[in-house]
């Protein structure tokens, strides 16, 4: 890119006290905007603060009207502007341009994402603009012919030509595309690293090898070895280094090649990370994420197949997240990285290659899911099925089978094990009067056991049938494929349990014949 792809602010607009920096797609490209004469793009359309619309342009445009209060020339510049701001990424597709309307003296953060996950972050303050809460700002459309573009005065006129967003545009903003869980995790890491220079990744084969499961693909080339750190096979060592760096304000993302190996580092996870905030009377925050594949994969034996949800979910001071879909993976990982407390992020190896539909909202770099809030994946009235990670997919398939038999199952994707969304679970059980819990972990002291206890304590009077728990077998995971399948929940197990809860199962004698 050359300077002709940028534009000078119109007359009367303030300039940045320090130059705003564009984080380019190609290494080595680093361009300043300050005090440059530039031209507008030949064609474009961009969105101002209301609805969310994907779009493409061939130029990078920044225009503002008002005073610049502060700016930061770090990667992913944060610029505070008083007035109206428009920002468009160069040669990429914009995910969203988000900004809720609010009364005066309002400040909101806007982040723009691109196809290759390059982005710029802005904080825009509105003071004295008279923007009412119910009023939506509109779309600014511009089409400029020729290479010379508009004059500075012409741009100023264009900036004032706003019109309200119509309700017809709302459907366009909800258009979906497919994204794998792997790409969702990769994009979340990329955007958070670009937004915050304190975020870095550390683990075995995360750099040169691009990650054992390619979750960190491309990050070493983009951010360098100081922020994408390959380590020896020493989980206790690099987990401890990560916790120490978090004590000093960095935000490490520690990758375990599998959470079975986190047992080598469990002292740092629990004693060093989880307890430090309490033991320091709140003086020490530990903003660290421990992430990697959890639970059984396929044919990897007893030592590589354990689910650690119940292990870490029992520890005060930790937050434990369990994504299922690409939306979960992207939104929860961003939330984990931004959280001031240690987060255990349990992924599933067999889900990495699965594709899920994602909306424009999910693709926005500002997208973030709340920690501790479950999602009702499928509404129903006859039986509640709770699940997390890969088992959510099994529960949804079981619900489809049950529907053919006239049973309308409600499926809850837990998303978070600690904190557990007890309110959503109990509200569902009070509606359906039945509960089936599903997990791949061991049955004793499991996640399902905790959910059952919560429902018995808070909603016992609403139950019309005994609670059903579906879990992994209470044995070390077999290596033989046929025995391994028997050791973990299958779709038919969930169907049978739901039918039992609804008193629709066949008598034992009939099923035996």
Q: Per-residue pLDDT tens for 66-93? A: 333 333 323 332 222 223 333 333 222 2
Backbone angles phi, psi at 492, to 5 degrees: -65, -30
DSSP 269-333: IIIIIITHHHHTTT------EEEEE-S--SS--GGG----HHHHHT-TT-EEE---SHHHHHHHH
**Is the pLDDT score of 43 beyond 50?**
no
Burial class (CB in 10 A: 0-12, 13-18, 19+), 243: buried
CA atoms within 13 A on the CB side of 119: 29
**Is the pLDDT score of 159 beyond 70?**
no
Q: How far is 154 from 324, CA to CA, in rounded Å? A: 49
pLDDT given at position 364: 94
CB 32 within 8 A of CB 1: no
DSSP 98-110: -----SSSEEEEE
Where residue 207 falls among pLDDT bands split at 50, 70, 90? very high
**Is the pLDDT score of 342 beyond 50?**
yes
- Other beta carbons within 10 angstroms of residue 198's beta carbon come to 17
Any residues with CB less than 8 A from the CB of 20 and at least 6 apart, and which?
32, 33, 34, 62, 71, 73, 77, 79, 120
Report which of residues 5 and 402 the model is more confident about.
402
**Is the pLDDT score of 487 beyond 50?**
yes
Least confident of 62-66, 126-130, 174-178, 381-385: 126-130
Residue range 139-151, pLDDT digits in tens? 222 222 332 333 3
Q: How far is 113 from 356, CA to CA, in rounded Å? A: 19
Q: Return the structure tokens found at 370.
A: 């709340």
Partner residues linked to 285 by β-bridges:
none
**Is the pLDDT score of 122 beyond 60?**
no
Q: How far is 200 from 216, CA to CA, in rounded Å? A: 11
Q: How far is 232 from 217, CA to CA, in rounded Å? A: 19
**Is the pLDDT score of 254 beyond 80?**
yes
User: Which residue pairs from 215-218 have beta carbons closer than 8 angstroms and sit at least 24 positions apart in sequence?
Assistant: 215/182, 215/185, 215/186, 215/189, 215/255, 215/352, 216/186, 216/189, 216/255, 217/186, 218/186, 218/190
Where residue 504 falls among pLDDT bands split at 50, 70, 90? confident
Where residue 108 falls among pLDDT bands split at 50, 70, 90? very low
* Residue bearing tokens 């972990």: 441
Averaged pLDDT for residues 321-349? 97
Averaged pLDDT for residues 105-116? 28
CB 476 within 8 A of CB 306: no
CB 118 within 8 A of CB 386: no
Report which of residues 9 and 359 the model is more confident about.
359
Partner residues linked to 254 by β-bridges:
202, 290
Given the residues 235, 450, 468, 484, the one annotated as active site? 235
Where residue 396 falls among pLDDT bands split at 50, 70, 90? very high
**Is the pLDDT score of 463 beyond 70?**
yes
Averaged pLDDT for residues 371-397? 98
Which residues in 55-83 are b (16+ Cβ under 10 Å) and which e?
Answer: eebebbbbbbbbebeebebebbbbbbbbb
Active site residue 235: yes
CB 406 within 8 A of CB 426: no
Averaged pLDDT for residues 215-244? 97
Burial class (CB in 10 A: 0-12, 13-18, 19+), 162: middle
- As a whole-number percent, the residues of the chain with pLDDT over 90 amount to 63
Averaged pLDDT for residues 313-333? 98
Task: Collapse the DSSP code of 88 into the 3-class scheme (helix H, G, I; strand E, B; otherwise coil) and give the result.
Answer: strand
Given the residues 304, 347, 439, 450, the one annotated as active site? 304
Least confident of 167-181, 295-309, 333-347: 167-181
Q: Using alpha carbons, select from 439, 355, 435 the residue that is nearest to residue 394.
A: 439
pLDDT given at position 176: 74
pLDDT given at position 184: 97
pLDDT given at position 83: 30
End-to-end CA distance of the chain: 74
- Other beta carbons within 10 angstroms of residue 128's beta carbon come to 9
**Is the pLDDT score of 228 beyond 50?**
yes
Distances (CA, A) of 400 to 197, 304, 471, 494: 45, 31, 20, 11
Q: How far is 376 from 385, CA to CA, in rounded Å? A: 10
Task: Collapse the DSSP code of 433 into the 3-class scheme (helix H, G, I; strand E, B; otherwise coil) and give the result.
Answer: coil
CB 160 within 8 A of CB 330: no
CB 359 within 8 A of CB 174: yes
Q: Using alpha carbons, select from 352, 380, 233, 368 the residue that is nearest to residue 292.
A: 352
Averaged pLDDT for residues 96-100? 35
pLDDT given at position 506: 53
Q: Return the structure tokens found at 506.
A: 């066949």
Averaged pLDDT for residues 259-280? 96
- As a whole-number percent, the residues of the chain with pLDDT over 70 amount to 64
**Is the pLDDT score of 33 beyond 80?**
no
**Is the pLDDT score of 23 beyond 70?**
no
When the pLDDT of each residue in the chain is averaged and rounded to a whole number, the result is 73
């Amino acid at each position: 890119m050359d300077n002709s792809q940028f534009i000078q602010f119109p007359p009367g607009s303030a300039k940045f006290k320090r130059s705003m920096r564009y984080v380019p797609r190609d290494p080595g490209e680093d361009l300043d905007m300050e005090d440059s004469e530039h031209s507008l793009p030949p064609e474009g359309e961009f969105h101002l603060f209301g609805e969310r619309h994907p779009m493409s342009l061939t130029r990078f445009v920044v225009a503002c009207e008002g005073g610049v209060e502060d700016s930061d020339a770090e990667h992913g510049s944060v610029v505070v502007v008083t007035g109206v701001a428009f920002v468009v990424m160069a040669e990429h597709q914009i995910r969203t341009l988000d900004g809720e309307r609010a009364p005066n003296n309002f400040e909101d953060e806007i982040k723009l994402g691109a196809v290759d996950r390059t982005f710029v972050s802005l904080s825009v303050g509105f003071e004295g603009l008279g923007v009412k809460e119910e009023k939506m700002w509109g779309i600014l459309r511009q089409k400029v012919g020729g290479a010379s573009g508009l004059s500075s005065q012409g741009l100023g006129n264009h900036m004032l030509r706003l019109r309200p967003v119509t309700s017809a545009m709302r459907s366009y903003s909800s258009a979906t595309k497919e994204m794998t869980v792997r790409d969702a995790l990769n994009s979340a890491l990329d955007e958070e690293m670009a937004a915050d220079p304190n975020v870095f990744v550390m683990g075995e084969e995360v750099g040169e090898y691009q990650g054992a499961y390619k979750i960190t693909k491309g990050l070493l080339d983009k951010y360098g070895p100081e922020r994408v750190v390959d380590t020896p096979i020493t989980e206790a060592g690099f987990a401890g280094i990560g916790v120490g760096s978090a004590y000093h304000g960095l935000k490490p993302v520690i990758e375990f090649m599998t959470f079975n190996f986190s047992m080598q580092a469990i002292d740092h996870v629990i004693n060093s990370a989880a307890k430090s905030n309490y033991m320091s009377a709140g003086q020490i925050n530990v903003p660290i994420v421990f992430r990697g594949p959890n639970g059984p994969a396929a044919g990897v034996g007893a030592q590589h197949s354990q689910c650690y949800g119940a292990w870490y979910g029992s520890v005060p001071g930790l937050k434990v997240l369990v994504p299922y879909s690409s939306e979960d993976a992207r939104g929860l990982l961003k939330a984990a990285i931004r959280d001031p407390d240690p987060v255990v992020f349990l992924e599933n190896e067999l889900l990495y290659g699965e594709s899920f539909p994602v909306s424009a909202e999910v693709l926005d770099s500002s997208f973030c899911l709340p920690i501790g809030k479950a999602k009702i994946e499928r509404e129903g009235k006859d039986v509640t099925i709770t699940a997390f990670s890969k088992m959510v997919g099994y529960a949804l398939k079981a619900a489809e089978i049950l529907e053919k038999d006239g049973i309308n199952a409600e499926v809850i994707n837990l998303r978070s094990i600690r904190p557990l969304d007890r309110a959503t679970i109990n509200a569902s059980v009070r509606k359906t009067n039945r509960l089936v819990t599903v997990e791949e972990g061991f049955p004793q002291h499991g996640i399902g056991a905790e959910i059952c206890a919560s429902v018995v304590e808070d909603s016992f009077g609403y139950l019309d049938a005994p609670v059903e728990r579906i879990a992994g077998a209470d044995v070390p995971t077999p290596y033989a494929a046929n025995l391994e399948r028997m050791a973990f929940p299958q779709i038919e197990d969930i169907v049978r349990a739901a039918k039992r809860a609804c008193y629709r199962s066949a008598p034992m004698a009939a099923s035996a014949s």
